[in-house]
Amino acid sequence: MGLRPTQGDENKLQDCHSERARLARESKNPYPLNLTLLQKGFPVALPTTPCRRSMIFERAKSKGALACAPRAILLSSSAMPRTTITLGLAIITVLAPAFCACSRNNVNASAAQPLSAALPDSRPLVSGERALQYTKDVVAFGPRYVGSPGHAKVEAYLRSQLKGDNLMADTFIAATPAGSFRMTNFIVRFPGTKPGIIVVAGHYDTLYGRKDFVGANDGGSSTGLLLELARQLHGQKNDGFSIWLVWFDGEEAVRQWSAADSLYGSRHLAGKWANDGTTIKIKAFLLLDMIGDANLNLERESNSTPWLEDVVYQAATRLGHQSYFFARTLPVEDDHLPLARLGVPVADLIDYDYGPGNAYWHTPQDTLDKLSPKSLEIVGSVVMETIRLLNQTSQK
């Protein structure tokens, strides 16, 4: 089975997606949000695009990550003078509570306000404890690379956890340098009333052949948080875009990371969605990877769509979690790339600063003790808030 669309398909896709791809390249939001708060100077996202244009190379704050990151070139988040940023952030910090209090006190006047002004209540939108429990269940299966006993166990676990949720298993044969393997992506769809789809995805596999690697953060955390999101969404009325949750198989390379040896599940599903007309319905694709580190630092990922990352940052700011987001910028090759190439707006929420000098990444040290429920709760809540903001588009 081919893992990529054929050349003919790619030409068709090119036509079909070229407008979106152009908008994505130019960093324009084809689904404009009601950004009244931004325009009014509400403390939301820091300016990003102008800064990104003048990004300078800088050894990252994170200790020696550069040496461990062959594909991840570390960039500073901004060329703005640090004092300017610090001053700006200080003003934001001082003013934000006043703005928030004001909005809360004026709930009754909300008819005159943009929807985006209604602040979420203080309840955590997502339970980090429950997400961590799911992660523990998954890690207990041991290594989860294709063909391993743990892989079969996690597949069965996902099927049983998601069986009440319109689960689709997308099974395919992947040709890898170590032979052909049967892989399965799992997809759960929560229908909404608005036409269009928001996808939230992660991967559940671990490093191929590595019996000493259980991937608590890398593969485990996203699997656990997605299960918690499924639990949240289950039976909930959804007046917005449909929400699809995806657990990808085969994200990791089998031998050596390359375009052909990596991202097996996402490449397969992107090809399938391109052929069946799904990709043009996707308003946003949010990828979660390595999001459980107790020391949470999510990157601004430069293969992602800038306007969508801005919405994520806006969501994080509204929840008071912006300090965990986007202190540095780097490109990462991950499961969002096959979708990005088709013009789908994507954001990879990844923390590529795992342990001193990224020392726990792809090592036996990637274990449960490094994770925290708070990190899972922050990321889960920000994802839900991002979805809420995306639902406020002016398009029907």
Strand order through the sheet with 298-301: 75-76, 325-330, 298-301
Contact yes or no for 339/24 (Cβ under 8 A):
no
Per-residue mark of binding to ligand 1BN, 282-321 (x: CB under 6 A): -------xx-------------------------------
Strands of the sheet with 167-176, listed across from one edge: 167-176, 179-190, 241-248, 194-203, 282-289, 346-350
Which listed option, ligand 1BN, Zn ion, none, makes contact with residue 332 (CB within 5 to 8 Å by class)? ligand 1BN
Question: 256 or 394, CB closer to ligand 1BN?
Answer: 256
293 binds Zn ion (CB under 5 A): no
Integer angstrom CA distances of residue 132 from 127, 138, 145, 186, 224: 9, 10, 21, 20, 6
Work out how close the CB of 99 gets to ligand 1BN at its nearest, in angstroms, rounded to a whole number. 36
Q: Which does 165 bind (CB under 5 to 8 A by kind): ligand 1BN, Zn ion, none?
A: none
**What CA–CA distance (Å, rounded) separates 194 from 239?**
7
| Partner touching 389 among ligand 1BN, Zn ion, none, CB below 5 to 8 Å by kind | none
Q: Decide if residue 351 touches ligand 1BN (CB under 6 A).
A: no
CB of 197 to ligand 1BN, least distance (A): 24
Could you say whether residue 289 binds Zn ion (CB under 5 A)?
no
Which of 9, 165, 170, 333 contacts ligand 1BN by CB under 6 A?
333
Using Cβ positions, the residue closest to Zn ion within the complex turns out to be: 218
Residue entry with tokens 């996402």: 266
Smallest gap from Cβ 331 to ligand 1BN, in A, equals 9
Tell me if 218 contacts Zn ion by CB under 5 A: yes
Select from 205, 218, 261, 366 the one that contacts ligand 1BN (CB under 6 A).
218
Piece of 49-57, 73-81, 211-219, 230-238 that binds Zn ion (CB under 5 A): 211-219
Q: What is d(CA 184, CA 241) in angstroms, rounded to the nearest whole number?
A: 25
Answer yes or no whether residue 249 interacts with Zn ion by CB under 5 A: no
Q: Considering the complex, state which of residue 52 and residue 336 has its C-beta at the smaller distance from ligand 1BN.
A: 336
Residues contacting ligand 1BN: total by CB under 6 A: 12
Query: Nearest Cα to 141, choosing from 127, 162, 158, 164?
Result: 158
Q: At closest approach, how far in Å is the CB of 238 from ligand 1BN?
A: 30
Of the candidates 336, 346, 335, 326, the residue with the CA atom closest to the CA atom of residue 390: 346
Residue 289 interaction partner, one of ligand 1BN, Zn ion, none, beta carbon < 5-8 Å per kind: ligand 1BN
Q: What would the two tokens of residue 210 be?
A: 């590595």
Nearest residue to 348 (alpha-carbon basis) of 297, 305, 389: 305
Residue from 72, 139, 174, 243 that binds ligand 1BN (CB under 6 A)? 72
Residue 248 phi/psi, 5-degree rounding, is -85, 145
Q: How far apart are CA 56 and CA 276, in angstroms?
A: 41
> Of the candidates 25, 28, 59, 71, which one interacts with ligand 1BN according to CB under 6 A?
71
Q: Does 9 bind ligand 1BN (CB under 6 A)?
A: no
Q: What span, in angstroms and rounded, lies between the C-alpha atoms of 26 and 378?
A: 30
Cα gap 282→243, rounded to integer Å: 10
Interface with ligand 1BN, residue 349, by CB under 6 A:
no
Cβ 201 to ligand 1BN shortest distance, Å: 13
Pair 290, 351: CB distance under 8 Å: yes
**Within its chain, how far is the Cα of 350 from the centroid?**
7
- Exposed / middle / buried, residue 121 (Cβ in 10 Å: 0-12, 13-18, 19+): exposed
Piece in contact with ligand 1BN (CB under 6 A), picked from 137-145, 188-196, 276-284, 331-339: 331-339
CB 382 within 8 A of CB 376: no
Q: In sequence order, what are the residues at sequence separation of 6 or more whose Cβ sits closer than 8 angstroms to the Cβ of residue 336? A: 201, 266, 285, 287, 301, 303, 304, 346, 347, 348
Nearer to Zn ion, 218 or 353 (CB): 218
Minimum CB distance to Zn ion smaller for 215 or for 240: 215
Output the smallest distance, CB 311 to ligand 1BN, in A.
Answer: 22
Q: Applying CB under 6 A, which residues contact ligand 1BN?
A: 69, 71-72, 218, 252, 257, 289-290, 332-334, 352
Binding site for Zn ion (CB under 5 A): 218
